[in-house]
Chains A and B, each alone.
Chain A
Amino acid sequence: MSEEKKIIEQFTSSEYKEGFVTDVEQVFVPKGLNEEIIRTISALKEEPEWLLEFRLEAFRAWQQMEEPRWGHLDLPDIDYQDIIYYAAPKKDKDRPKEIDPKLSETFDKLGIPLNERDVLAGVVAVDAVFDSVSVTTTFRKTLEEKGIIFCSFSEAVKQHPDLVRKYLASVVPVRDNFFAALNSAVFTDGSFCYIPKGVRCPMELSSYFRINARGTGQFERTLIVADEGSYVSYMEGCTAPMRDEHQLHAAVVEIVVEKDADVKYSTVQNWYPGDSEGRGGILNLVTKRGICKGSGSHLSWTQVETGSAITWKYPSTILKGDFSSSEFYSVAVTNNRQQADTGTKMIHIGRGTKSRIVSKGISAGYSQNSYRGLVRMGKGADGARNFSQCDSLLIGKNCGAHTFPDIQSYNPRATVEHEATTSKISDDQLFYCQQRGIGQEDAVGLIVNGYAREVLARLPMEFAVEARKLLQVSLEGSVG
């Protein structure tokens, strides 16, 4: 037992290496939320009238709504008037075109290169978001040649207002839920991406979100539109400094997949999880949804969730086009006092639609990890098919793993299968490894990686390497 304690102590003292703060001059709007603040944000971003109206309408809707409390989470009370809704690094007037070296340094430290020459030839294009604004978007030129638009959301509003207006809130309506309404009212920046007809995006596109300022929340909005027959692989990463206060992150991601298009969306979420006693950490309350609009379209979600004090996130797909398909692959790791309530929704509307859900939850320490999923077969979903598999792995005596699937079938020609198991790392497996000279920690890493392999294999290469390391670090010393 003392060994166990020692190992647990070791872990809790292990470091969140992205926890540093960048010291840069920032512009804030005052604390609190009211129509005046929204007008200020809109003015700061030089937005057109219609967008301000959109925000105000969302704000009024939000005031009528209630915070959802149905998650298997112990959500702390959030004082929405005690949050700064806009924070941006000050622009240097002498060098308006260049990136502040300090910001560049920050992203370098995080391993996100903002200078194109530093990147291996044409691997990843990055949109880096620092608090409320996008710092830079790389490889714009290369992408423009193909007709691909990849820029910050604010820029898209200015340069491609028609596209933004057409698709904004078309997948996640303003009134969809409490946090989506809040985001619609105060969203600050995010990425916009449009892939034209028949274009295969030549590189991975990526957004990197960084929360830096104290007392702020991050409310980014991402909109991805893949036109007929196009392909794109999109990755998202995020980190935040270590603080003993909770910080709110309420994002909205919308994805529109037209006929025969293929979108792959990957997330490695590594927000600050709070300390071992559950102080601080990010409240990650996000709405992500895609629609397979045209026939034969395909959307694939892959997520590795290791961070955040609280995660409330259900990347979902509406399978509207006939014979469209979607996948959801997830690994969610919780340790210490972290809580995660995550899963997916697959709404089958079109004929012959197919979906597959593979969710692997790993809980350690005093954490609670829940899978919550909905599979719905609509009246018209003839021949539709779903397969779900949700496994939970428990490490230690004090954690919890829960599964809340919901299956609704309104069509006799649709097939739904769900299976789930819950177990712990077996002593036999550990013994086998240790007997062969593999230390306990490494053995757990090995077993967990094997357990999550099916999901990790879906990640783009650069991400997969990072995710594997994250898994190892997140679970360090959690064996008892």
Chain B
Amino acid sequence: MEKHVVKAGQTLVLEYFILPGESRDIEVEVELAGPGAALELRGLYLCSSTEKVSIRTLVRHSVPFCRSSQLIKGIAGGKADVSFDGLIVVAPGADGTEALQENHNIVLTDTANVRTKPQLEIYADDVKCSHGATVGRLGDEELFYMRSRGIPEADARELQILSFLAPVIPSGRREELEEAVRKTVNGSRQDSL
């Protein structure tokens, strides 16, 4: 398990980038231990076969005036099994906390499973905490819009996936991702045929 302690005034950036073929079990605990400490956690996964991805995060706001933001987005195709289990704990007295946690998923195939548990435990009152989670599919209307403008289906799906993942793509890894997305889209199309 990874464990980080962030001191006053520091900002910790964590990035997870998981491409097809890679199974990962991530367990990370971050403690915001001094006023002004901040965490930015971004995660991306793209699964197209039998990967098992499990992400567990525990963010502790132990003192006042810390910020944390977690944004985790991913695509589950093939027979992938994806789970996210996040917990934010705001200690008594940690006023002025701002904590955000989001996990969004797109499922491509009947055989992929997604489970998500975005959890909050809050013991202080002057806080701004929010979390959100979605599990859905690629929108048919967007696809239709693009296809009616002459964009081939595969390209349109690629664009949809890329734009969905855009906020969490680490700098300099875009091309790598585009390639992987192309393969995933072609793969899942063959599955459905």
* Chain A contacts to B: CB under 8 angstroms: 72, 377, 379, 392, 394-424
Whether B142 sits at the interface, judged by CB under 8 Å, is: no
Residue contact A419 to B130, C-beta cutoff 8 Å: yes
How far is it, in angstroms, between the C-alpha of A422 and the C-alpha of B120 when the chains are bound? 9
Query: Which residues of B (120-138) have their CB < 8 Å from a CB of A?
Result: 120-137
When C-beta atoms are compared, the residue in chain B nearest to A401 turns out to be: B122
Residue contact A418 to B121, C-beta cutoff 8 Å: no
When C-beta atoms are compared, the residue in chain A nearest to B106 turns out to be: A412
Residue contact B130 to A424, C-beta cutoff 8 Å: no
How far is it, in angstroms, between the C-alpha of A267 and the C-alpha of B37 when the chains are bound? 44
Residue contact A422 to B117, C-beta cutoff 8 Å: no
14 contacts between A and B (CB under 8 A): A377-B135, A392-B122, A402-B122, A406-B116, A409-B115, A410-B113, A412-B107, A416-B133, A418-B131, A420-B120, A421-B128, A421-B130, A422-B120, A422-B128
CB distance from B62 to the nearest CB of A (A): 15
Whether B33 sits at the interface, judged by CB under 8 Å, is: no
How far is it, in angstroms, between the C-alpha of A418 and the C-alpha of B105 when the chains are bound? 12
How far is it, in angstroms, between the C-alpha of A402 and the C-alpha of B110 when the chains are bound? 33
Q: A404 contacts which chain B residues (CB < 8 A)? A: 117, 119
When C-beta atoms are compared, the residue in chain A nearest to B82 turns out to be: A409
How far is it, in angstroms, between the C-alpha of A400 and the C-alpha of B122 when the chains are bound? 5
Residue contact B137 to A412, C-beta cutoff 8 Å: yes
Q: B117 contacts which chain A residues (CB < 8 A)? A: 404-407
Whether B109 sits at the interface, judged by CB under 8 Å, is: yes
CB distance from A335 to the nearest CB of B (A): 14
Given A422-B129, A423-B128, A424-B127, does the pair A409, B122 have CB atoms closer than 8 Å? no
CB distance from B160 to the nearest CB of A (A): 14
Whether B112 sits at the interface, judged by CB under 8 Å, is: yes
Residue contact A395 to B113, C-beta cutoff 8 Å: no
CB distance from A280 to the nearest CB of B (A): 25
Residue contact A397 to B125, C-beta cutoff 8 Å: yes
Q: A394 contacts which chain B residues (CB < 8 A)? A: 122, 124-125, 127
Residue contact B131 to A419, C-beta cutoff 8 Å: yes
CB distance from A410 to the nearest CB of B (A): 5
Query: Which residues of B (146-188) have their CB < 8 Å from a CB of A?
Result: none
When C-beta atoms are compared, the residue in chain B nearest to A368 turns out to be: B123
Residue contact A412 to B125, C-beta cutoff 8 Å: no
CB distance from B90 to the nearest CB of A (A): 8
Residue contact B133 to A418, C-beta cutoff 8 Å: yes
Whether B93 sits at the interface, judged by CB under 8 Å, is: yes
Given A418-B132, A420-B132, A424-B125, does the pair A403, B110 have CB atoms closer than 8 Å? no
Besides A406-B117, A416-B133, 17 new A-B residue pairs in contact (Cβ under 8 A), listed by A number: A394-B125, A394-B127, A397-B93, A401-B120, A402-B119, A402-B122, A405-B117, A407-B135, A409-B115, A412-B137, A414-B135, A418-B132, A421-B130, A422-B127, A422-B128, A423-B127, A424-B125
- Picked from A379, A405, A423, A424, the residue with its CB within 8 Å of the CB of B119 is A405
How far is it, in angstroms, between the C-alpha of A346 and the C-alpha of B123 when the chains are bound? 28
Given A397-B93, A407-B135, A412-B112, does the pair A418, B129 have CB atoms closer than 8 Å? no
Residue contact B113 to A422, C-beta cutoff 8 Å: no
How far is it, in angstroms, between the C-alpha of A401 and the C-alpha of B109 when the chains are bound? 36
When C-beta atoms are compared, the residue in chain B nearest to A372 turns out to be: B119
CB distance from A440 to the nearest CB of B (A): 16
Whether B59 sits at the interface, judged by CB under 8 Å, is: no
**Chain B interface, DSSP helix/strand/loop, else mixed:** strand
How far is it, in angstroms, between the C-alpha of A420 and the C-alpha of B122 when the chains are bound? 13
CB distance from A261 to the nearest CB of B (A): 29
- Picked from B115, B121, B125, B126, the residue with its CB within 8 Å of the CB of A407 is B115
Q: B108 contacts which chain A residues (CB < 8 A)? A: 412
CB distance from A23 to the nearest CB of B (A): 43
How far is it, in angstroms, between the C-alpha of A416 and the C-alpha of B113 when the chains are bound? 13
- Picked from B112, B113, B122, B134, the residue with its CB within 8 Å of the CB of A418 is B134
Q: B109 contacts which chain A residues (CB < 8 A)? A: 412
CB distance from A419 to the nearest CB of B (A): 4
Given A421-B130, A422-B129, does the pair A415, B120 have CB atoms closer than 8 Å? no
Residue contact B121 to A408, C-beta cutoff 8 Å: no
CB distance from A293 to the nearest CB of B (A): 25
Whether B36 sits at the interface, judged by CB under 8 Å, is: no
Residue contact B105 to A409, C-beta cutoff 8 Å: yes
How far is it, in angstroms, between the C-alpha of A408 and the C-alpha of B92 when the chains are bound? 31
- Picked from A379, A395, A402, the residue with its CB within 8 Å of the CB of B121 is A402
Q: B132 contacts which chain A residues (CB < 8 A)? A: 417-420
Whether B6 sits at the interface, judged by CB under 8 Å, is: no
CB distance from B80 to the nearest CB of A (A): 11
How far is it, in angstroms, between the C-alpha of A281 and the C-alpha of B114 when the chains are bound? 40
- Picked from B93, B123, B128, B135, the residue with its CB within 8 Å of the CB of A416 is B135
Q: B124 contacts which chain A residues (CB < 8 A)? A: 394, 397
CB distance from A344 to the nearest CB of B (A): 15
How far is it, in angstroms, between the C-alpha of A411 and the C-alpha of B110 when the chains are bound? 5
Residue contact B134 to A420, C-beta cutoff 8 Å: no
How far is it, in angstroms, between the C-alpha of A423 and the C-alpha of B100 when the chains are bound? 12
How far is it, in angstroms, between the C-alpha of A372 and the C-alpha of B22 when the chains are bound? 32
Residue contact A407 to B110, C-beta cutoff 8 Å: no
